[in-house]
Structure 1
Amino acid sequence: MPSRDSTDPKDPRSLSAPQAAAPGEALCGDAAPSGPPKPDVPEGDVADYVAALRASARLGPLVVHHRTFPATPAVHADPTRPFSRPVAELLARRGITRLYAHQARATDLVRAGRHLAVATPTASGKTLTYLLPVLEEVIRNPDSRAIFLYPLKALAQDQKKAIEELTASLPASSRPTVAIFDGDTSPHFRRKIRDNPPHILITNPEMLHLSLLPNHDAWSTLFAGLTHVVADEMHTYRGVMGSHMAHVFRRLLRVCARFGARPSFVFSSATIGNPGQLAESLTGLSVDTVTESGAPTGPRHFLFINPEQSAATTAVMLLAAALKRGLRTIVYTQSRKMTELISLWIAEKAGPYASRVSAYRSGFLPEERRSIEAAMASGQLLAVVSTSALELGIDIGGLDLCILCGYPGSVMAAWQRGGRVGRAQRESAVALIAGEDALDQYFMRHPADFFDRPPESAVINPDNPAILAKHLECAAAELPLTEDEPFLASPAVRGEVEKLEEKGLLLRDKDGKRLFAARKRPHRDVNLRGSGGQFTIETPAGAVIGQIDEMRAYKETHPGAVYIHRGVSYLVESLDIPERRVRVAPGKVDYYTRARGQKTTEILEVLGESKVQGVPVFLGRLKVTETITGYERRAARGGQLLSIVPLDFPPLVFETEGWWWVIPEAVQAELDRRLFHFMGAIHAMEHAMIGILPLLVLTDRNDLGGISTPLHPQVGRACVFIYDGAPGGIGLSRMAFAKADEALSRTLAAVAGCPCETGCPSCVHSPKCGSGNRPIDKVAARFLLEVLMSGKMPEGADCRPDCPDHNEQQRSDAPQASRPGLLPKAAPPARFGVLDVETRRSAAEVGGWCNAHQMGISVAVLYDSRLDDFLVYRQEELPELYQALTALDLIVGFNINRFDYKVLAGISPFDHRALPTLDILEKVHARLGYRLSLDGLAKATLGTRKSATGLDALAWWKEGRLDEITAYCKKDVAVTRDLYLFGRDNGFLLFSNKAGQTVRLPVEW
């Protein structure tokens, strides 16, 4: 899609002018909007909102990227064969005169009996691609049946409503019946639906697995007449759940074959990188794809915002401004807790609009969720704050603005969530507010990569033995397994059958040709959204408040752990591993817990081998042994470590798939020779690579594990292992191994591009590190990654890359960009100035630093590089100062944006923000995450000090000693100038770190 980039904000000051909400959305492209906004909602204008945001003095500078996508027109087409008259009339009554091109192509394929995957953007009318062929088939043949699968109950409710509205005009005798069969369906209606199945049965994966397939005899009418199986939101069927669903669909095909049915599968998905491949992996069938959308789109703004405060605080400010303008808004958060907190905070900021905002997340009762959805769709609510629960296509009406509070983990999810706004071809905006996570900050530094990057590919592993074994039992309990059936064709399946026979879970008949399940109902032990065993969490009264899988139980529900459920804190009293039971009791504490442990890995089998820049990389089966040795108690506010409590747990052992880098001996020797912390280097490399892998594979970093070891006994070398966190593996490592070269280059970019000094969550720290991110050496990791990427050892170096002598030696014969730890030099401005102002009044006298505009000017000094002179101005001479500033190519200052310009703004309305400015303090803060003093930088870098302090200058003003103020201000300007020149010419400044060591601070002016 064509787009326009914007990087230079304008400068208006307000986000508060009230304006309109979007109308509702129609079922399909050319139908009329569902209705106007409520009368009391002001007419919002997205373009004005975005312009005001870009120009805001507070928020505008935080916008690191702004891209606009123009509206696109609809592309229509007609189906190869006209629809039957009843279906054509249904469309006509909805005001749909022609289909979009992708709808026409998709319906042609489904009507021809082909298996299909449709992957087009949100709100492109995918529903009609399967609904029209199903309705046509049902009207033609009343004995036909269809199953519609949705991963969320709310989606099922939406779909039922849409079908009933579309078919309402048909005579009752020929109108297709539709019913929902899920956990909320009462026993009475479950029996009625089972005894007389509707033409369209709307259900979810769990009900198909737990109820329909085990009781297929009772559902014979449904399975015998089954012509279509629709799986909406296919992109959610990835990882562990997708690996489970691959077997659920195969079991469904077995049951259908028993009744002589061969249904067509239709998969509907948000845009993903491999829709056809995923659908074929899920079913084992050949699947056609439709991925080009013919639906029109409205203009859209996409903004990247890197906040100074937390992402949540910035989201609240953006939402408050949107509410005042009447913009209908959805805010996506990364956790249930943050959803509730933002909802509370906005209630304090939104004034009269506070009652028109609601939280929405899983854990709410069904009736609560339905009420919120209805209120949002009707316009009663202006905004909703949600977890991913509203990522999918639940109808909450037309929206104007989407605020992403943190990068959602994948490009696909970001587009999916952003696609919720701008329906009915209205102008819309998406604002991505970065957190401190590695991917958030990666895209803040490389925004173009987000837009150029294709959607990630979904990965599943049907051969995962932990998952496969469970479904073989279920399949055998439904229908006996026979040696010649397709379900048992692969070597992996046959191998697992032998293991199950040895365990007595599968039993052969007398002739040895059929296999039966030893248990009647093994289905209850299968959790489609997890791969390990389940632990039950109980209160002292015996009430079950939840379940947790075995992998997480050891880390999150060990004795002494703080466990939070629906906003209530519990303390874990015991973890009974043989009984798979966790006992908890309510407890109010001001700390949280984090498990500590150690891991080892054994290579069981090598499945693949490659080299990246000469570095060996392997893929294989691993045995991981993880021992939880204790846990940390950390303060709820600030995260300070309070204590470490030891634990005595048996090790958790599981087999999985992984890939590993073998660090060449010469590389390790080079790091040792340079006195780098080698273990800190490979540990940081492991964390950074895990953090960046979701760029390449559709996953979350929590689905991956890692181990770095300076000497692996089987390899005889240092290794960095990364593995699938689920027992048996889910295919993530296989795909990552295939992209090992890109993984290495992206990891280096993430480490080198992060402005922190020693490592942070944006590059080499992991939130789940069992050793508390110790040891970690970011500088060593960068050097290690650069050496691995270069394919050769550095030559002629005999000291660390941050040694001044070494860097001077390298400068003459190597491009500066290639020197570890240094950034390339920028072309210097032809004429620059350095500015500093001294005030008449202190912060205490004017009521705080926020009132700097009231402090007044005693002296302003400007150094002009062309004149090589210091120019002095009094308050009444500021017009001459402004004239001098406009003649400069660059104005340099220390805290100039937050202080000097604000002081000047109180004297004159001159637009200081339009000046090309370099604030050295801002550069320091952006790289270190904290501020340094001018005096400290001058002492370490230049060997000089400030001549006085600001308090001295204030005292001198009261005594009329202007000459001494001028001399002091000139000295500050000279120091700032020399720091600028040193950084410009050398690529770094020096400062004394918290350990008292003088270290380099890389800078790029």
Structure 2
Amino acid sequence: MSNVQEYIAALKASRKFGPQVVSHKTVSAKALSSRQFPDTLHPKLCDFLNTRGITELYSHQQQALSYVFAGEDVIAATPTASGKSMIYNLPVIDMLLRNQSGTALYLFPLKALAQDQLRVFSEFNEVLPEQKKRYAAIYDGDTSSYQRRRIREEGVPILMTNPEMLHLSLLAYHGNWVHFFNNLKYIVIDEVHTYRGVLGGHMAWILRRLQRIARYYGATPQFIMLSATIGNPAELAEKLTGRPSELISSSGAPTAEKHMVLLNPWDSAAYTASQLLEAAVKRELRTIVYTQSRKMTELINIWTSPKLGKLSDKLSSYRAGFLPEERRDIEQKLASGELYGVISTSALELGIDIGDLDICILVGYPGSIMATWQRGGRVGRAFRDSAIVLVAQEDALDQYYMRNPDDFFRRGVESAVLNPDNKAIMEQHLHCAAAELPLERDESLLTAQEVADSVDSLANQAVLLQSADGNIWFSTRKYPQRLVSLRGGGTQLSIINSESGEIIGEVDSGRAMKECHQGAVYIHRARIWVVQSLDFEAREVVVTGMKPSFFTRPMSNKNTEILDTRKTIMSFRGRVSFGKLKVTEQVTGYQKRNNSTQKLIATVPLELPEQIIETEGIWLDIPPAIKETLEKEKYHFMGAIHALEHAMIALFPLLVLCDRNDIGGISCPLHEQTEEATVFIYDGHSGGVGLAEESFDRIDELLQQTQKMISSCSCENGCPSCVHSPKCGSGNRPIDKVACLKLIDLLLSKNSSDQSEFSATDNARVLPDPTPQGSSSLRVQKQQRLGLEALPGRYGVFDLETIRSAEEVGGWHRAENMGISVGVVYDSELDGCVTYLEDEIDELIHHLQQLDLVVGFNNKRFDNRVLSGYSSYDFQQMPNLDLLEEISNHLGYRLSLDRLAEHTLGEKKSADGLQALQWYKEGRIDLIQKYCRKDVEITRDLFLYGLENGFFLFQNKAGKTVRLPMNLEPSIEKALAHASR
């Protein structure tokens, strides 16, 4: 009997732990399946492998190499420790042996993986020609400026980096990497399964930008992608790269026998894991414990170490927050066998080489079958027996598997979901792409309708500037990449220690509302902090280290609006729809609860701004007959649908690869649009990441599994193992488990007739898409022309020249003292200009008061203030339209009238304000009249051009003539409405 088998036998025989073991299964060993080296592999490389005792390849390695050498993209989705690094290292070494100028880009989601793979790559150094100082280098945030310059100057052919560095440094500064991109042959993407959800959406666009830059330099690189075993590797790879890949999913690597134990503890999961870890280390079994929080990692270490006696130095924790050199030291000690045990967060889930381990203890279900086997794959290498022990927590999904262990072992790995068409993410990266190379109408990146519409949207926002001929789009910023957070959502806020002023971390604005509001108890780096202030404008959260006797829980209100219903089906007796939603949420306060008893101490109100996101979701309409039945039988209907919402969200990870925190929900006893009782479940990220759509296609399964989970829980009134949610904005009130069971039993029961129980197939009021089909200017060269019909009956264009300069009156803030030498008004009723001199200002004012609309260029901030020196009348109450204000609001900065006129109208001003002041001193009023009249005519023509064409033209800093979208109709309406009050 091996040590692992003895450990499992002792666990099951224990009087304490034996009864806690819910299930024990043995995964049988698997034999080796090998193949010969491909004929195309360089002979020197074959000889080198032979000297290392490698005479054949695993069958999946050989299959992948055959695709690579045939020029195909590949995605290899095989278990941990199946030799996937050979799939990309061998073709790259082969390339270097045959083509000294070839380059390859290795992308890893974590810095530690790059460090690990650099060590693996260095083992091939002796087979490479001695023509370069180094063939591979890490280029990430830890690389010094000096080393970055050396890497570029040496022309290192293999760069190992991460998505952030590719996004911020390589693509943004591609001109510094001409040789690298010109010769790029392979793009290696490791741990592809991690690129899902928000990060996956960003990664899909980074890879599209990467291919675009490569094409610009004449390269057409191949993708070599590696993934853990997931349900849809080929689909995921295609969504990431935008092109199909050959799939390798059957592993030829041998595996030893592996034990899988499900344990439902009597004590807390963390304390139980500590005891199991102690027993393993004392047997000198090399053990890894995975936890779901940094705090739990440290607690298990603190509890376990003192019990190990002289073996206490054989145990270590490992998590984010450790210095890089500390993590490298722990990894080295694990790989060498110096450490017997490590307690880690998911930081050690990915393929960092930590040697041959025996036992994996999971503190809580990792959230997916994929992650469970990925973490469990860290043990049992070198064909040694191993064991995985899953210690359940109170969470609904954990307890579901404890009550249904056979379902755990039957269930296949989940599909990874991402949405490359997420509008918010797409627009950020289109902005970045335009900054790297101007976007052109005919390029392949812009062929999809969704992309074309997003380019139009960005141009209308003046984020992108369209060329005069409409065929090219330029970025308004030089490096917008710095504004994009790949792994977070929204603006990042700094968390600041109030005592030291040190920045101890970051949090995105969405999480800050719920977790970092004033008074919140926040745990960071295993320390407890209390938030003193939350400042969105300053982008900071100020915290103080404390040890309060309470924890906090946010309270919030939500409402949901259906923007677009895309598809509707019947699921049992319920009607289920998928579409676009607008979710408005506001944190209204928080609860203080006792740490020990969890009893409510106090409720504190808060005044925080609303959060509004547009996302994708599903909604379940409850038939009126079911609602009537529950109410007639005196069940709490709101408690029933609220509990159903929580339970469905808890089981979402059964269907798709996600965390329950990626999902939001709301229950409505009567929704104003559906006109029914409705349960909404939606993607918690702006634009949606594909989770809701994936669940829509499996809604029957979700409802059935929800019924099974709730009915099998032994509690009476509801608990965290079934219908309570740890993030409920109303503190799990009202919740009624019994009513929920009755509701779902009725939902899944057979309808007494074949007729729909709803009054119509779909009562949801669907709002029209604000962008009509085919309106994109990328596809249809058509401007949204407002036309002269937007003008009121009598409008005027106005300008004036002053007697004194700002300097002479003591500054621009004293414009009322500048005096007027000449004023000119174009009157549409007269279709001509009227000139007023210094002694006719009263008549000028009277003329302006007769107009339905007064148009000017800086008239609100300057001309009206100059006029105020002549009258007590409030000139801001006139129906003013200020073109300079419109431009500044839209563009973010001001443009001169001369600059606009030159490129929009092909005209230039005849003089400037300083020249007009000099003319006044010389008594040349005639020249001032001529100059002021010309300015009025230019302003009028510019105004009319904007109305007719929907844009102005100007020259940007790069010297390109570009369009400035300008929809003046809303501003005209606003001016008229303001004046009528």
Tell me what 1:743 maps to: 702
Q: Secondary structure at the match of 1:711?
A: coil
Tell me what 1:350 maps to: 308
Tell me what 2:339 maps to: 381
How far apart are 1:533 and its partner, in Å? Answer: 2.3
Partners of 1:313 and 1:582 in 2: CA distance: 33
1:840-874 Cα distance to aligned partner (Å, 9 max, x none): xxxxxxxxxxxxxxxxxxxxxxxxxxxxxxxxxxx
Partners of 1:659 and 1:308 in 2: CA distance: 37
* Normalised TM-score (structure 1): 0.74
Give the one of 513, 529, 533 matched to 2:491.
533
Partners of 2:587 and 2:70 in 1: CA distance: 56
Whether 1:608 and 2:567 are equivalent positions in the alignment is: yes
Alignment of 1:543-692 (within 5 A): 543-692=502-651
Partners of 2:386 and 2:70 in 1: CA distance: 38
Tell whether the 8 Å contact from 1:145 to 1:200 is kept in structure 2 after alignment: yes
Whether 1:755 and 2:755 are equivalent positions in the alignment is: no
Partners of 1:644 and 1:127 in 2: CA distance: 54
Whether 1:54 and 2:12 are equivalent positions in the alignment is: yes
Partners of 2:170 and 2:63 in 1: CA distance: 32
Whether 1:464 and 2:404 are equivalent positions in the alignment is: no
Partners of 1:625 and 1:340 in 2: CA distance: 37
Tell whether the 8 Å contact from 2:550 to 2:595 is kept in structure 1 after alignment: yes
Tell me what 1:115 maps to: 73
* Normalised TM-score (structure 2): 0.75
Give the one of 163, 167, 191 matched to 2:149.
191
Partners of 2:55 and 2:132 in 1: CA distance: 23
Tell whether the 8 Å contact from 1:723 to 1:733 is kept in structure 2 after alignment: yes
1:570-605 Cα distance to aligned partner (Å, 9 max, x none): 322222233433233333322221110110000000
Partners of 2:700 and 2:37 in 1: CA distance: 44
Tell whether the 8 Å contact from 2:140 to 2:161 is kept in structure 1 after alignment: yes
How far apart are 1:490 and its partner, in Å? Answer: 1.7
Q: Secondary structure at the match of 1:423?
A: coil
Tell whether the 8 Å contact from 2:231 to 2:412 is kept in structure 1 after alignment: yes
1:179-236 Cα distance to aligned partner (Å, 9 max, x none): 0001111110011112233221101110000000000010111101100000100010
Q: Secondary structure at the match of 1:211?
A: helix
Tell me what 1:437 maps to: 395
Q: Secondary structure at the match of 2:355?
A: coil
Partners of 1:308 and 1:166 in 2: CA distance: 51
CA RMSD of aligned residues (A): 1.5
Tell whether the 8 Å contact from 2:44 to 2:127 is kept in structure 1 after alignment: no
How far apart are 1:492 and its partner, in Å? Answer: 1.7
Structure 2: which amino acid aligns with 1:78?
Q
Give the one of 638, 642, 653 matched to 1:694.
653
Partners of 2:33 and 2:545 in 1: CA distance: 58
How far apart are 1:511 and its partner, in Å? Answer: 2.3
Tell whether the 8 Å contact from 1:671 to 1:784 is kept in structure 2 after alignment: yes
Partners of 1:120 and 1:256 in 2: CA distance: 29
Tell whether the 8 Å contact from 1:195 to 1:219 is kept in structure 2 after alignment: no
Q: Secondary structure at the match of 1:439?
A: helix
Tell whether the 8 Å contact from 2:270 to 2:300 is kept in structure 1 after alignment: yes
Tell me what 1:514 maps to: 472
Partners of 2:706 and 2:456 in 1: CA distance: 42
Alignment of 1:6-17 (within 5 A): none
Structure 2: which amino acid aligns with 1:111?
F
Q: Secondary structure at the match of 2:670?
A: strand
Whether 1:152 and 2:76 are equivalent positions in the alignment is: no
How far apart are 1:550 and its partner, in Å? Answer: 1.9
How far apart are 1:97 and its partner, in Å? Answer: 1.0
Whether 1:726 and 2:694 are equivalent positions in the alignment is: no
Q: Secondary structure at the match of 2:494?
A: strand
Q: Secondary structure at the match of 1:222?
A: helix
Partners of 2:124 and 2:375 in 1: CA distance: 26
Partners of 1:744 and 1:274 in 2: CA distance: 23
Q: Secondary structure at the match of 1:712?
A: coil
1:649-683 Cα distance to aligned partner (Å, 9 max, x none): 22111111100000000000010111100000000
Tell whether the 8 Å contact from 1:633 to 1:641 is kept in structure 2 after alignment: yes
How far apart are 1:79 and its partner, in Å? Answer: 4.5
Alignment of 1:699-714 (within 5 A): 699-714=658-673
Q: Please, which runs of 5 or more residues in structure 2 have no aligned partner?
A: 754-981
Partners of 1:698 and 1:643 in 2: CA distance: 37
Identity of matched residues, %:
53
Tell whether the 8 Å contact from 1:224 to 1:256 is kept in structure 2 after alignment: yes
Partners of 2:27 and 2:494 in 1: CA distance: 49
Tell me what 2:769 maps to: none
Structure 2: which amino acid aligns with 1:359?
S
How far apart are 1:128 and its partner, in Å? Answer: 0.5
Partners of 2:401 and 2:239 in 1: CA distance: 31
Tell whether the 8 Å contact from 2:573 to 2:623 is kept in structure 1 after alignment: no
How far apart are 1:176 and its partner, in Å? Answer: 6.8
Whether 1:778 and 2:737 are equivalent positions in the alignment is: yes
Relative distance call for 1:365 and 1:584 in structure 2 (3 A) is same
Tell me what 1:253 maps to: 211
| Higher alpha-carbon Rg | 2
Structure 2: which amino acid aligns with 1:452?
R
Task: Between 239-248 and 781-790, report the one with greater CA deviation.
Answer: 781-790
Partners of 1:558 and 1:791 in 2: CA distance: 48
Structure 2: which amino acid aligns with 1:259?
Y
Structure 2: which amino acid aligns with 1:330?
I
Partners of 1:571 and 1:418 in 2: CA distance: 37
Structure 2: which amino acid aligns with 1:132?
L
Partners of 1:400 and 1:166 in 2: CA distance: 29
How far apart are 1:565 and its partner, in Å? Answer: 2.2
Partners of 1:565 and 1:724 in 2: CA distance: 26
Tell me what 1:428 maps to: 386
1:886-923 Cα distance to aligned partner (Å, 9 max, x none): xxxxxxxxxxxxxxxxxxxxxxxxxxxxxxxxxxxxxx
Tell whether the 8 Å contact from 1:94 to 1:166 is kept in structure 2 after alignment: no
Alignment of 1:178-577 (within 5 A): 178-540=136-498, 542-577=501-536
Partners of 2:723 and 2:617 in 1: CA distance: 20
Tell whether the 8 Å contact from 1:506 to 1:516 is kept in structure 2 after alignment: yes
Partners of 1:736 and 1:175 in 2: CA distance: 52
Task: Between 457-466 and 637-646, report the one with greater CA deviation.
Answer: 637-646
Give the one of 91, 94, 98 matched to 1:136.
94
Tell me what 1:791 maps to: 750
Relative distance call for 1:585 and 1:313 in structure 2 (3 A) is closer
Partners of 1:530 and 1:653 in 2: CA distance: 17
How far apart are 1:169 and its partner, in Å? Answer: 4.7
Partners of 1:612 and 1:775 in 2: CA distance: 26
Task: Between 532-541 and 604-613, report the one with greater CA deviation.
Answer: 532-541
Alignment of 1:841-920 (within 5 A): none
Tell whether the 8 Å contact from 2:192 to 2:227 is kept in structure 1 after alignment: yes
Tell me what 2:49 maps to: 91
How far apart are 1:509 and its partner, in Å? Answer: 1.9
Tell me what 2:82 maps to: 124
Structure 2: which amino acid aligns with 1:427?
D
Structure 2: which amino acid aligns with 1:297?
T
Partners of 2:334 and 2:296 in 1: CA distance: 20
Partners of 1:486 and 1:327 in 2: CA distance: 55
